[in-house]
Structure 1
Amino acid sequence: MQLRRLRIRSFRNFRDLVIDPFPTPTVIVGENGAGKSNLLHALRLVLDPDLPDRRRELLSEDIHDGSPTLAEGAEVTVEIELCGFEDDPDARSELDGAIVSVDPLTARLTYLFRPKQSAALLLGEEEEAQPLTPNDYEWTIFGGTDPSNSMLGAKKYAALSVLPALRDAESDFARPDRSPLTRLLRELPPSQTSIDKTLEAIRNAREDLGRDSNVQRVADLIRARVTTMAGPRLNLDPSLAFIGRDEDLLRSIRLFIDPSAARGVDRTSTGTANVLYLGLLLEWLGLRRGALNGEDTLLAVEEPEAHLHPTLQRHLFAHLLAQSNRLLLTTHSPHIAAVTPLPSLVLLLDGVAGSEARVMSSDLLTAPERVDLQRYLNVNRAELLFAQGVVLVEGIAETYVLPALARSAGFNLDAHGIVVASIDGTDFAPYAKLLGPSGFNRPFSVLTDGDAVDTENKEKYRRELGLKRALDLLTVLADADTADTYEEALGVLQEQNLPGTGGSRMGRKDLVTTAAGFGIFVGPDTLETDLAPLLGKEMKATFNELANGRRRRENFAKAVDQVSAGSSTAPQRDAIVSRIERDPVSKGRFAQRLATHVEQLDLPTQIRKLLSVSAEQAVSQADLLGLPGCGPLLALLDDLRRRYENLPLVPTLEETSGSFPGEQGTST
């Protein structure tokens, strides 16, 4: 049996949350406050047989802020649909009254919290109307679509077991009534022959101990003391013996972490104890599912990463999530998210009317795209699932330079949860699908090289590869008319040769502006040459620190100066890139060192110099896009800062009044 669909209305974070389909296994991720724990509690209202009934009686704080209040006649529902029990006669019998579909066979259970009938009638009479209290409410769990079809017993079969985030595994192991080892031994108890032999040995040992002189003396001392205190009328004759019942045998078995049974669980780390606890519980649940009349339990674990080393997190949960089990996790760990199959991810987001859930549809990505993205998240940047904003870039150089440029303007990307993620290539479309409106719906931008070159007639389509990438993204993010218009203009553009004296093709600026409106920022050439007009001085200083030889340094400085001067030719731009790519520099190493210089820069002042504007004049995104080389990159940072700090990248004096130079808008 598995959970197929979930709907929560008017409960805590959720005004009307629908997760359909509900994946199995499930990993729920989201920022703090998005409602991960509240979602688990909503499931407990329907399915957890161990949840006391008094906790199903909701309070005012359990009602969603945008819904009618408890005083106004609130109604809360948690509706789940279950499937996968066609071959289980007991389940079909138990859930017979809850069937809502036969293809596939699906049962619906609903927790309903609402005013009692008498209170509801009173609420409707205006002259007698008065605020309702919790005492005016009732709850039920019903099957199918009829609230009168009470099915309170169904939760004993289709059950949910929750391990809280702040569990104390060591303490639970020490208490037989809470230890998963005790549960496991009850499912696989020792044979009766072994029990009888052990009890007989215990009885013999007990008699031997009871005949010990010191034990008898202790019993005599107790008897004498009590008689002296209370007199002979109390009729008390104490003795000492040693218990040895069947149940006591199981409860007395303890788990040790070494073959010699010398070191108990309390002698290991908290993380190891949690792994043992989870392993025993999963084994017990597996046995229960296979037992006659056993429960088909869904196990939910809150924040299982607690106390676990990142490497162990990845290995352990890669194994567990690959199993055919009914496991549900909530997590903040990018290491667990990284090994989670994409279809198993549920992303909770804060929405205008309450928390929303995003699940990847089965047809969103092609099979190769899904495999590639899964590998990317596993190896590189699963953090983008937790980010407030994402900037997708081609390579590692941008991941060094962009945050440094932002900091030099007083804008801290990390403080706003913005992740700069390299995809190590140029195929951005699958990432746009995953993060876009039809996927997880996360705010994201793209920065890509323009790669504007001249080619033979038969390869004209390759003349503006950056703008072609933007077209691929527009087919995902924009309407069909916008994409078609863009494609037509791009075709015209690609017919032109690059100006022999440098510069760009006629009409290119319009296409760059259109793409920027959808968060796609296309540079003219490649990162290093695009930065030269803005960071020429810093680039030369960086190269001098990394490269040996006076001639090499002079040639690099000459190439930077030529590109910084304005319109440059392809050979001049190639001279910069070729020198950076030679050993012992490399693009990544160069960008890493360049970032150190960039952070010391007063970026707003530098930009104003390029634009020849004063500190009183506003600088728009269009102004930045028009800058040679670095314009799209700066326009991207401007777009981010306006969204997250409501400030432009280059604020006026009025907008930065009260801030220290270089710290405008800095968030901590």
Structure 2
Amino acid sequence: MGIRLQSIRIKGFRGFKNIEVDFENTTVLVGTNNAGKTTLLKALQIALTNTHFISNDDFYYCEEHIDDTIIIDTLFVPINENGVSDKFDEQWADVFKAERIGITEDRQIMAFRTIIKEHNKTFRKKQYYIDQWESFFDSATYWYEYEYENELSFYFDEIPFFYLEANRDILEDIKSKSSYLGRILSSLEFTNEDKQKIEQLISELNDATIASSDILSDLQMTLEELDTAMDNPNNSVQLTPFTKKVRDLNKGIRINYSEFSMDYHGMGTRSWSSLLVLKSFLNLNEKVYLANEKPYFPIIAIEEPESHLHPNAQKKLYSQINNIVGQKFISTHSNYIASGADLFEIRSILKIEPQIKIGKLNLTALTDEERRKIERQVINTRGELFFSKVVILCEGETEEQSLPMLIEKKLNLSFVSLGINIVGINGGGNYFPFIYFCESLGIKWLILSDGEEAILKKIKKDIIKLQGLEVRPENFTLPNNVVYFDNGEDFERHLINNNYKEEIEETLKKLYGENLDEVIMSKHGTLLKRQPTSEKCGECNQFIFEDVLRIYNTEEGKLEAYNDLLSAKKTMYPPILSQKIFDSNKPLPPKINDLIEKINDLLNPNTDAEN
């Protein structure tokens, strides 16, 4: 049995006005820059260590409110192989002592409150024992409105906290006695017998080195004249190319990788090495505690472990970190690390002005197949969605290639800089894994869909399921974040019907040649498809099919030909046509314009897109 830091509540710290986050044994924090990932790790550091680093800028403020108090509550629970258990085992109960163990819902807990306030132009930190973990919000009362009087500091040797910042370098660790590497080396211990044996070997190595070098031998003989000059014949001079005493071994240590010193390696290797040194440090500490029959549960916060590493190396990082003893909190911008975690370990942090929201995937509401679809279709292939502000889901490759340029035309900014991701899902039957993923993690999403009735019905079913409603699709109205083409149109037909005939003709000529009319007429009268009639065969009782031919010799037929020719070149025409639309002075097609205005409203809720 063991323990887990189950939850943290934060009020008034930096961008956190009032949030609660629950944790796993390993928790991966994802989100855009400046969303609050580092703030959450720093809140852990304040609550779980004796130090604090508070300034006036660390107190939450917005236009209408400024906090003068930081409150951080932390909750520890007992766990076993099946998850959260009812009581702490004997070892941890002995560590916490009876006065620190509370009861909530008939389960033992160990919870603390940390309060920081300004006092005489300095910041004072106090901590209090929490006997019962209250609801985050109950009726009209928030968690932070409850007061506790039993002042006890949170400090346990058995629960040390370690913070590994993004800027780390094994070369700096070698120089610093206070680094994890320095602390490992300074704790070197040998038996007297081993110590004498090693020092004798070092002495022999020094003598052999000097004897083998005329330069060193001459240098030593010359330095011996120091005895005469100082009139101190009882002293002698020794050259020691290698450290003389075991206690000094750490001073000259070098770490080589691939036969080269770390000085010759890049920041990726040096950063990764620094992380692995922490892993070794924790392993050594665990052995000491186990040898003394004491529990050991370090809590480790790691910022951007992917720093300077190429993608293949990043893919290996999660498993290495996950195997470190204790509880781990990883903040990352790497979709490779996020993809390596289990779905239930992900926590998204989103800055939705003026507050910050926490998202997580609720897997209990999904079937095994739905979980696999999220892993296969979303995370394994679209890991960048973890870091999106807005996700646009569309039918396929055509829209996926075209929309970035059309968004830039409307908003005068690239979709990447706006934090937008566009995903073609290759048909109308695959929306649910994406919308469930986005909704769970608090990522705003929009759908741009063809107007076919069957596709719209499937979208309705997916959203009904997402919202947990009991309603038939025909009685359900699609929400405002679903934009679909009217009258059964698709993307190509919508462009044709909205004043982009000239641009489409130019695009088709670029793809099919200048003799476009001849290409169209060569297909006139050919088989388009076979469709069932209302009549049945008298012998087999099956519906009789009839051939539907292409009719391209009318004005309407010519537009149909344009649509068919575009559809036949779905992977080729979007960038050509999008550029022509971008260069034109015409307004965007209405449904595209509607979609982009909704994007702008999501990104800038108090402003309107330029016309």
- Shorter-chain TM band: 0.7 to 0.9
Worse overlay, 137-146 or 340-349: 137-146
Matched, 1:113 2:102: no
CA distance in 2, matches of 1:29, 1:596: 34
Q: 1:295 to 1:578 in 2, by over 3 A?
A: same
Q: 1:402 to 1:542 in 2, by over 3 A?
A: same
What is the match of residue 441 of structure 1? 442
What is the match of residue 554 of structure 1? 520
Stretches of structure 2 lacking an aligned partner (at least 5 in a row): 81-86, 133-147, 212-216, 526-549
Q: 1:200 to 1:316 in 2, by over 3 A?
A: same
Contact 1:4 1:80 in 2 (8 A): yes
Matched, 1:638 2:593: no
Q: 3-state DSSP class of the match of 2:9?
A: strand
What is the match of residue 601 of structure 1? 584
Contact 2:304 2:332 in 1 (8 A): yes
Q: 3-state DSSP class of the match of 2:448?
A: strand
CA distance in 2, matches of 1:257, 1:286: 22
Percent identity of paired positions between Structure 1 and Structure 2: 20
What is the match of residue 61 of structure 1? 57
2:20 to 12, 18, 26: 18
The 5 Å alignment of 1:297-316 reads 297-316=298-317
Q: 3-state DSSP class of the match of 1:166?
A: coil
Q: 3-state DSSP class of the match of 1:34?
A: coil
More helix by share: 1
Contact 2:30 2:347 in 1 (8 A): yes
Cα offsets for 1:332-377 (capped at 9, x unmatched): 2334334333222211122455323222223243322222222234
Cα offsets for 1:292-317 (capped at 9, x unmatched): 24642122211222211233223433
Contact 1:143 1:150 in 2 (8 A): no
Q: 1:134 to 1:95 in 2, by over 3 A?
A: farther
AA aligned to 1:10 is: G
Cα offsets for 1:501-529 (capped at 9, x unmatched): xxxxxxxxxxxxx5352444355232222
Contact 1:2 1:83 in 2 (8 A): yes
Superposition deviation, residue 134 in structure 1: 3.7
Cα offsets for 1:379-431 (capped at 9, x unmatched): 43323222222211121111111222233335433342222122233221232
Contact 2:180 2:278 in 1 (8 A): no
Cα offsets for 1:477-500 (capped at 9, x unmatched): 7695xx84x73457xxxxxxxxxx
Contact 2:508 2:565 in 1 (8 A): no
CA distance in 1, matches of 2:396, 2:326: 38
Matched, 1:545 2:510: yes
CA distance in 2, matches of 1:182, 1:264: 21
Contact 1:521 1:636 in 2 (8 A): no
What is the match of residue 247 of structure 1? 247
CA distance in 1, matches of 2:336, 2:45: 27
Contact 1:184 1:283 in 2 (8 A): no
The 5 Å alignment of 1:329-344 reads 329-344=330-345
CA distance in 1, matches of 2:518, 2:326: 61
Contact 2:227 2:235 in 1 (8 A): no
The 5 Å alignment of 1:242-321 reads 244-249=244-249, 252-258=252-258, 262-291=259-288, 292=290, 293=294, 295-317=296-318, 320-321=321-322
CA distance in 1, matches of 2:426, 2:192: 63
Q: 3-state DSSP class of the match of 2:72?
A: strand
The 5 Å alignment of 1:422-461 reads 422-426=424-428, 427-436=430-439, 439-451=440-452
Q: 3-state DSSP class of the match of 1:599?
A: helix
AA aligned to 2:345 is: S
What is the match of residue 397 of structure 1? 398
What is the match of residue 5 of structure 2? 3
What is the match of residue 79 of structure 2? 84
Cα offsets for 1:527-558 (capped at 9, x unmatched): 22232223322222222222367566334999
Q: 1:193 to 1:221 in 2, by over 3 A?
A: closer
Q: 1:210 to 1:276 in 2, by over 3 A?
A: closer
More strand by share: 2
CA distance in 1, matches of 2:495, 2:522: 14
Contact 2:451 2:484 in 1 (8 A): no
Q: 1:177 to 1:533 in 2, by over 3 A?
A: same
Q: 3-state DSSP class of the match of 1:308?
A: coil
1:588 to 571, 580, 593: 571
AA aligned to 1:112 is: I
CA distance in 2, matches of 1:550, 1:224: 103
AA aligned to 1:538 is: E
Contact 2:392 2:446 in 1 (8 A): yes
Matched, 1:197 2:183: no
Superposition deviation, residue 210 in structure 1: 9.8
Q: 1:135 to 1:304 in 2, by over 3 A?
A: closer
Q: 1:487 to 1:406 in 2, by over 3 A?
A: same
Q: 3-state DSSP class of the match of 2:341?
A: coil
Contact 1:29 1:346 in 2 (8 A): yes
Contact 2:350 2:442 in 1 (8 A): no
Superposition deviation, residue 472 in structure 1: 2.0
What is the match of residue 384 of structure 1? 385
Q: 3-state DSSP class of the match of 1:515?
A: coil
Superposition deviation, residue 32 in structure 1: 2.6
AA aligned to 2:318 is: F
Matched, 1:224 2:224: no
What is the match of residue 497 of structure 1? none
CA distance in 1, matches of 2:433, 2:567: 29
Q: 1:209 to 1:273 in 2, by over 3 A?
A: closer
CA distance in 2, matches of 1:186, 1:424: 59
State the TM-score, normalizing by the size of structure 1. Answer: 0.70
What is the match of residue 220 of structure 2? 215
Q: 1:475 to 1:635 in 2, by over 3 A?
A: same
What is the match of residue 126 of structure 2? 139
Q: 3-state DSSP class of the match of 1:328?
A: strand
Contact 1:164 1:301 in 2 (8 A): yes
CA distance in 2, matches of 1:393, 1:7: 38
Q: 1:241 to 1:78 in 2, by over 3 A?
A: farther
What is the match of residue 370 of structure 1? 371
Superposition deviation, residue 19 in structure 1: 0.7
Contact 1:63 1:76 in 2 (8 A): no
Q: 3-state DSSP class of the match of 2:61?
A: coil
Contact 2:432 2:466 in 1 (8 A): no
1:467 to 431, 456, 459: 456
Q: 1:572 to 1:398 in 2, by over 3 A?
A: same
Q: 3-state DSSP class of the match of 1:603?
A: coil
State the TM-score, normalizing by the size of structure 2. Answer: 0.76
Superposition deviation, residue 319 in structure 1: 5.8
What is the match of residue 540 of structure 2? none
AA aligned to 1:199 is: E
What is the match of residue 46 of structure 1? 47
What is the match of residue 610 of structure 1? none
What is the match of residue 128 of structure 1? none
Q: 1:47 to 1:592 in 2, by over 3 A?
A: same
CA distance in 1, matches of 2:410, 2:54: 49
1:529 to 493, 499, 518: 493
CA distance in 2, matches of 1:552, 1:158: 79
CA distance in 2, matches of 1:552, 1:192: 97
